[in-house]
Structures are given as C-alpha cells and as structure tokens.
Amino acid sequence: MDATLDLSRWRETPRGVGYRRWSILRSGLDLLLRNRFYRILLGAAWSSGLMIAVLGFTFSQAISSGGVLESLATRLGPRFEAIVTALSGFVALYPDICIGGIFGLIFWVHSFVGLFLALLALTGMIPRLITHDRASNALVIYLARPLTTTDYLLGKLGMIVGMILLVWTGPLLFGWLVSMLFATNTDFIWYSLEPLGRALLFNGISLVALAAIALGVSALGKTSRMTTGVWIALWFVASALAAPPGAPAWLKRASFTHDLKQVRQEVLRIDTALTRAGAELPLLDRHFAANLSAAGRRAAAEDVGGALAGLGVFVVLSSFVFFRRLKPEGDR
C-alpha cells in the first residue's frame, strides 16, 4: 500500500479558543435537549410563560374602557357595573399600586415555578457537568493547551446559564412581551417595568448562586450517584431541616432554598404591594383592607442579610471545591 504524507502548510482559518468554549457549551446543551425529560421541562416552562401572557392580557383587557369585564357587567346589572367602574377608577387613580401590584404578584408566583424547574433541570445536569469528565479522565484532554481552566469553566457555566435562560428567564420575558403587545395603553408597560426588573434581579441572583453550587457539587465526586445524592440532600434535606419555625438561624442559612426564599421576598417586595394596597386604596371593606395589610406583613423577608451571607458562603465553598478538583489526577 502506497501511503503518502502531505507536509503542505495548513491554510484553514483558526477558530480560536472562543470556538472551543462554545463547543463545550453547545455539546452539553445538545446532549441535554435530546433527553425527553428536558423536553418536558421546556414544555412546562414555556407554558408558564404563556400563562403570564394570558394573565397580563386578561387584566389589561378586563379593566379597559369597553373591555370584556365592562361588557359583562352591563349584562349583570347596575351593581356589577358600579363595581367594575370602581375597579377601573382604582387603576386610573393608582396605576402604580394596581398595575405594578398585579404584575408583581404574577412575577412572584412565576418565580416559584421558574426556580423549581431550574432546580429540576440542574438535578439531571449535575453528573454531566464535571462528574463524568472526572470519572473518564477527560480533564486531561479538556485542560490541554490552549484550553485552560477558565475556558472549561466558561463552557460549563454556559451550559447552566443556557438551561436557566430556557426554563426561567426566557418564559418570563416572553410572557411579559406578549402581554405588553396587546396592552390597551402605555401605563401597563411603564408600571410593569419595575416588577419585571425585580423579577430579573432575583433571577440573576439565583443563577449566580445555583451555578456555583451546581459546579461545586458536580466536582465533588466521580460517580453520578454520589454527586446527585449530595445535590438532593442540599435541596430537600436542608430545606426540610430549615422549614420549622423554631429552627436555629444558622441551620436556616445552611439551606440555599431558604436563602433564596428570603431573597425573593426582599427583591420582589410582594409585602410592600399588599401593604400599600391595604393602606392606600379606598376599599369599601375594611376587613379586606386589614387582611391585605396583614398578608403583607407575613410576606416580608425576615433575615435577608443572613440569607445573602449564606448564599455567599455557598458560592465561595463551591468555587473552592471546583477549582481544587478541576485538575488532572496526576497534577495534584
């Protein structure tokens, strides 16, 4: 057999390290999205985004002049017409409380859905982040020059960010944008921006914390059973231990789900919306107004400083584990 060796100069365009980082991200997401479980998660996530759009559209159409609610009230009699007129008047006179409060409540409810779906997605991702690479000694290849630890980290972070964008941030923005396209006036856009910004802020804080914790847990061991078990313990067991009202403060802060709950209450400020509605809206039923104010006090964050400190400790410890473990076995 005649074998020839071509020693001519390579003339292709180098794709650079950025392409290698993108390859890690893309291959990881492609592998996940071929999984039926993740396709179901995506369906549920975007259904929640569609629900945001439906609720926002229904609210804007219901209280507008000539809207669905006004048309329905004319058929039900003068009493219902008076109620609808009063509701429309509340929105016109107190748009920051009514519009901002309603959208704040919608985004607050969606934050539970988005966070839960993100945690489910990360549960399946944990072994695929670093665990399998450590078990197969693939780090020797991944961390060969010119690919560095930073490149590997950015690729894996990209997988987490991409998944959270797909199951949480994307549906949130989609639902808001669609509802604003059909809004009856610009007040809905203007007064829903602050609740949207707060929802995105909580989304970003959660993303940073969850990404660091997921990478640290995935780097702990070489078996899927071990790393998945640690993740579930941090999620469910720590959350259950922190749930009782009499649990010590340090134990509550040791649960990242409890910490995120406190951050949610502080950032989304559903307590402020309820308290202002009960105190400032001229509601006819004083008992209802008092209930709103009481609900606002119950929804207030109790230990946001401790929660942020707890999340900070989680991020620092997880980063230490990640960088300590992210070395080929022979280099330790």
**DSSP output for 292-303:** HHHHHHHTS-S-
What gap in Å lies between CA 126 and CA 233, rounded to an integer?
Answer: 13
Q: Is residue 91 packed enough to be buried (19+ CB in 10 Å), middle (13-18) or exposed (0-12)? A: buried
Task: Decide if 50 contacts 170 (C-beta within 8 A).
Answer: no
Longest distance between any two alpha carbons in the chain, whole Å: 98
What gap in Å lies between CA 190 and CA 302, rounded to an integer?
Answer: 30
The one-letter amino acid at 329 = E
Answer yes or no: is pLDDT of 99 > 90: no
Higher pLDDT, residue 79 or 284: 79
Give me the pLDDT at residue 73, please.
65
Mean pLDDT calculated for residue range 65-89: 69
What gap in Å lies between CA 276 and CA 297, rounded to an integer?
Answer: 11
Answer yes or no: is pLDDT of 1 > 50: no
Q: For tokens 């945001």, what's the residue?
A: 52
Q: How far apart, in Å, are the Cα atoms of 271 and each of 151, 170, 256, 276, 326? A: 42, 26, 22, 9, 43
Q: For tokens 């690919």, what's the residue?
A: 147
Give me the pLDDT at residue 157, please.
85
Mean pLDDT calculated for residue range 113-122: 94
Phi, psi of 300 (to 5 degrees): -70, 145
Give me the pLDDT at residue 6, please.
57
Task: Decide if 238 contacts 252 (C-beta within 8 A).
Answer: no
Query: Poorest-confidence range of 45-49, 68-72, 234-238, 314-318?
Result: 68-72
DSSP state of 119: H
What gap in Å lies between CA 193 and CA 303, rounded to an integer?
Answer: 27
Confidence band (pLDDT; 50, 70, 90) for 29? low
Mean pLDDT calculated for residue range 142-163: 74
What gap in Å lies between CA 73 and CA 100, rounded to an integer?
Answer: 24
Mean pLDDT calculated for residue range 306-327: 87
Give the CA count within 13 Å in the CB-facing half-sphere of 8: 4
